[in-house]
Structure 1
Amino acid sequence: MLGWLRVCAAWGAGGLCCRSSRTMKETLFKGNFWSTDLTSTAGYDSIIQHLNDGRKNCKEFEDFLKERATIEEKYGKELINLTKKKPCGQTELNTLKRALEVFKQQVDGVGQSHIQLAQTLREEARKMEDFREKQKLHRKKMELIMDAIHKNRNLQYKKTVEAKRLYEQRCRDKDEAEQAVHRNANLVTQKQQEKLFVKLAQSKTALEDSDRLYQLNVGALEKIREEWQNEHTKACEFLETQESERINYFRNALWLHLNQLSQECVRSDERYEETRRSLEMCSIEKDIEFFVNFRKTGSVPPAPVVYENYYNTQRNATSARNQAPAPGKGRRGPLPIPASGPGDPDYATIDGYSLIHH
């Protein structure tokens, strides 16, 4: 139980530890994911890829919980079916019978507990899914802003580069026009010289226009660059916060999962302890006494079987036949002694008839 309390205490301290370290350290993303190339998104892409990997890892853990829940549920149902279908000492009597009944009840309880654990794991998986979807939804808004500003920045950069190219070309055109005027000042006719001056004037006008357009594009690009830089900084801070929350949530979810498994072991051990206590109440003497009283068949053993010599048995049987039958031992009893003597008249009289002739 003390170990269980330490686990709970450590889990609670873990969350505090993460929050305290978060306040001690400033964000690191915004200072380490830049590029000297204005149009590069390498830093931003690297962060996004890392967070996508993190979301994938959360999904894998979520799937792991679901699969573990399926296993726990199957195991729980198998335990329950085992207690219902498989006999286990069904002919035992008295205290041991009660202990076995407790044992099967507790095994059934363990099965029910594993089914409950499966439901808990599915709930935790659902929470992880909700967390992932919530982060994804919040990130989507930020990503839309960043995608739009990246597109606008790159478009303006291309326009600025094109404006610069045109400006530089106009500069070269103006320089060539000036050189042509100076080079041909005394070699051409007045009419040709006027053409050179017109061309020079046109090149100067074109240069001024391209210079003005180039400066406008540079100014616009700078505004967009500043806006992008601010948004990139905000995105880095937002994404770092999301990553910190994800790591903290993932860590705590895994810690909670381990606590749930430990708690399941504790519950199972408590159920097995209930069976052990029931076994402690099992009395060998009482069970034997109960069986004797319940199933006894008699207390008098059979008489010994003695040796009988065949010839002695035959002689004894012959002697018994030659001897007068003992009183009460024959097939019929002895004749009754007449009440009168042979000489008496009643002696020979039967139903009024006399056998003695007078």
Structure 2
Amino acid sequence: MPILSGAPAPLAALSGTKQEPAGVSTEGIRMSYFGEHFWGEKNHGFEVLYHSVKQGPISTKELADFIRERATIEETYSKAMAKLSKLASNGTPMGTFGPLWEVFRVSSDKLALCHLELTRKLQDLIKDVLRYGEEQLKAHKKCKEEAVGTLDAVQVLAGVSQLLPKSRENYLNRCMDQERLRRESTSQKEMDKAETKTRKAAESLRRSVEKYNSARADFEQKMLDSALRFQAMEETHLRHMKALLGSYAHSVEDTHVQIGQVHEEFKQNIENVSVEMLLRKFAESKGTGREKPGPLDFEAYSAAALQEGKYVWAWMPRLDGGDEQGQI
């Protein structure tokens, strides 16, 4: 009785005469995770890989949405810092604390600019992501066209795989019937009929096995080609996505460095403004004069008053309380 082969062999069992897909190196085959791990009895590997590749544009769109949301957050924060700067500008200039409001204003302005600059960088990055997404759609359209042959091979293999058990069961039944007739010492004529049916069943099974092996060989080669092509696409996609993430991380990192510098500058400016400096600045800008009121001489002060009043007294009041003289 013929022994039927099992499920399609993995990559390691394929013949060395198989041709490599165009653009795929031998090194790529040795490192082909897709070419090794997506076989199995039900041959669902192609469907899994194809749907995985289709997720690429979706991931790209989701990345663009994520960066867009981050840009919105940065823009909102920039506006909030600008509002805070105005609040610092409106701080009362009176009093000794007044000069410190300028330190707050300058720091808030710089922080607002840092977040606004990050917003612009992220918006430019979104354009790059969307541009890549458009390129992806074109590449996936081409991939879909190239994968039609593999999809057909999967369907053909599925069809012959369904017929194979029926042919095998028919062959086994004919063999069992022939054996039963032999044990029952049936007439030679009946034995000849049974043997003829068995030979026909065996021939039918042989043709089914040949069709299966032919379909399987075609499927294995096309599946391997597609697996390597899908992996190459995924590798390119992941490298591009990682490059975009690298740009995102670099932009955020640069902004955080700038923010750190602004905070350090703010801290240094606060430390540089001493209490003594604030007091001196207030005194110099708001001071009312440095001359203190001097002592008064009674006689000189009173004489000046009389002169200003255009009166001339014939005599001055006596300190000993004597009579005063008349007016002239």
Q: Give the shorter-chain TM-score range.
A: 0.5 to 0.7
Report the residue type matching 1:121 in the other structure: L
Report what 1:323 is aligned to: 323
Report what 1:213 is aligned to: 204
Report what 1:240 is aligned to: 231
Aligned runs of 1:232-271 on 2, under 5 Å? Answer: 232-268=223-259
Q: Secondary structure at the match of 2:31?
A: coil
Would you say 1:120 and 2:111 are equivalent positions? no
Report what 1:347 is aligned to: none
Report what 1:190 is aligned to: none
Report the residue type matching 1:159 in the other structure: L
Shift of 1:67: 4.0
Question: Cα–Cα, structure 1 residues 176 and 296, in superposed 2: closer, same or farther, change >3 Å?
Answer: closer
Identity of aligned residues (%): 16
Report the residue type matching 1:91 in the other structure: P
Shift of 1:255: 2.5
Report what 1:152 is aligned to: 156
Shift of 1:52: 8.3
Question: Cα–Cα, structure 1 residues 128 and 146, in superposed 2: closer, same or farther, change >3 Å?
Answer: farther
What is the alpha-carbon distance in structure 2 between the residues aligned to residue 130 and residue 233 of structure 1?
31
Report what 2:111 is aligned to: 110
Shift of 1:73: 1.9
What is the alpha-carbon distance in structure 1 between the residues aligned to residue 50 and residue 264 of structure 2?
52
Which protein shows a greater Rg? 1
TM-score when normalising by structure 2: 0.60
Would you say 1:33 and 2:37 are equivalent positions? yes
Q: What does the per-residue CA deviation read over 1:41-75, in whole Å, with 9 as the maximum and x for residues that have no partner?
A: 36557767877898887777655534433332221
What is the alpha-carbon distance in structure 1 between the residues aligned to residue 38 and residue 324 of structure 2?
140
Shift of 1:235: 2.2
Conserved 8 A contact 2:178-2:195: yes
Question: Cα–Cα, structure 1 residues 174 and 73, in superposed 2: closer, same or farther, change >3 Å?
Answer: same
Report what 1:223 is aligned to: 214
Report what 1:137 is aligned to: 140
Q: What does the per-residue CA deviation read over 1:216-251, in whole Å, with 9 as the maximum and x for residues that have no partner?
A: 322222221112101221122123223322432343
What is the alpha-carbon distance in structure 1 between the residues aligned to residue 251 and residue 161 of structure 2?
56
Question: Cα–Cα, structure 1 residues 318 and 34, in superposed 2: closer, same or farther, change >3 Å?
Answer: closer
What is the alpha-carbon distance in structure 1 between the residues aligned to residue 180 and residue 198 of structure 2?
12
Q: What does the per-residue CA deviation read over 1:164-215, in whole Å, with 9 as the maximum and x for residues that have no partner?
A: 22233234444555666xx255xxxxxxxxxx62x45544554444334323
Extract unaligned runs of 5+ from structure 2. Answer: 1-25, 299-316
Q: What does the per-residue CA deviation read over 1:241-286, in whole Å, with 9 as the maximum and x for residues that have no partner?
A: 233224323433333222112322344467679989999x99x99x
Report the residue type matching 1:230 in the other structure: Q
Report what 2:72 is aligned to: 70
Shift of 1:153: 1.2
Shift of 1:79: 0.7
Aligned runs of 1:152-231 on 2, under 5 Å? Answer: 152-176=156-180, 183-184=185-186, 197=189, 199-231=190-222
Report the residue type matching 2:140 in the other structure: L
Conserved 8 A contact 1:27-1:240: no
Report what 1:15 is aligned to: none
What is the alpha-carbon distance in structure 1 between the residues aligned to residue 34 and residue 90 of structure 2?
67
Question: Cα–Cα, structure 1 residues 298 and 166, in superposed 2: closer, same or farther, change >3 Å?
Answer: closer
What is the alpha-carbon distance in structure 1 between the residues aligned to residue 186 and residue 260 of structure 2?
108
Report the residue type matching 1:222 in the other structure: N
Conserved 8 A contact 1:27-1:237: no
Report what 2:306 is aligned to: none
Extract unaligned runs of 5+ from structure 1. Answer: 1-21, 186-195, 308-315, 334-358
Report the residue type matching 1:161 in the other structure: P
Shift of 1:118: 2.5
Report what 2:308 is aligned to: none
Conserved 8 A contact 2:125-2:247: no
CA RMSD, Structure 1 to Structure 2 (Å): 5.1
Shift of 1:76: 1.0
Report what 1:91 is aligned to: 93
Question: Cα–Cα, structure 1 residues 114 and 142, in superposed 2: closer, same or farther, change >3 Å?
Answer: farther
